[in-house]
Structure 1
């Protein structure tokens, strides 16, 4: 399972880098989204992919039972998803405004409009 996840993460990183090197600003933002998803998968995989019990302490022993899921990785991923959604919303508004002004999504042509 971890080998399959490593291959999937590698493919996501490669696809995101390829898309970020394109000249289209839309593909740049899509590459950033793929990059954040790949980073989330790295965190999930490094924390261990277990479908165990919820991370609750036992009332008597005050210890976590064996085979619990790691709550720290889950909290980090949830935070990263919210931040990535905010960046995506800002990027969509920025792309829309840039397209209205310049009438193109090519980054080289956007650079030529500087006066």
Structure 2
């Protein structure tokens, strides 16, 4: 049972690792890496849900065969584009935070912001 669903177990383990990295680290770059690991785990889960063991590509053929569902694969293509845009925006914000506060650690940036008094 467990060996036949290894892709689900791997994706769940990657989700937990990504969530742990996002929650436990104060460094913004490490948080973005954890977010990307979590995204890849979700991609793997959806792709493995859409695959059938005896399925073929959903191309019209003379013989009727069992097809793998194409919708999860199409959704993942869109999610990859959104993930790349999210990562680019997160990195751009991290660069701006580093320029403004001299650190990528969120605790240090909050301390420096509260020490300055008024927001920028």
The TM tier, using the shorter chain, reads 0.7 to 0.9
Distance 1:2 1:37 in 2: 21
- Residue 37 (structure 1) aligned with residue 37 (structure 2): no
- Structure 1 segments (4+ residues) deviating >2 Å: 48-54
Tell me the TM-score normalized by structure 2: 0.80
Deviation readout 1:49-94 (Å, 9 max, x if unpaired): 5584331234x7xxx8313222101101100000000001111111
Tell me the TM-score normalized by structure 1: 0.83
Deviates more, 1:44-53 or 1:78-87: 44-53
Structure 1, unaligned stretches of length 5 or more?
A: none
RMSD: 2.1
Distance 2:88 2:53 in 1: 32
Structure 2, unaligned stretches of length 5 or more?
A: none
Superposed, 1:44-63 pairs within 5 Å as 44-50=47-53, 52-58=55-61
Equivalent pairs counted in the alignment come to: 111
Deviation readout 1:6-38 (Å, 9 max, x if unpaired): 221122112101110111111111111111111
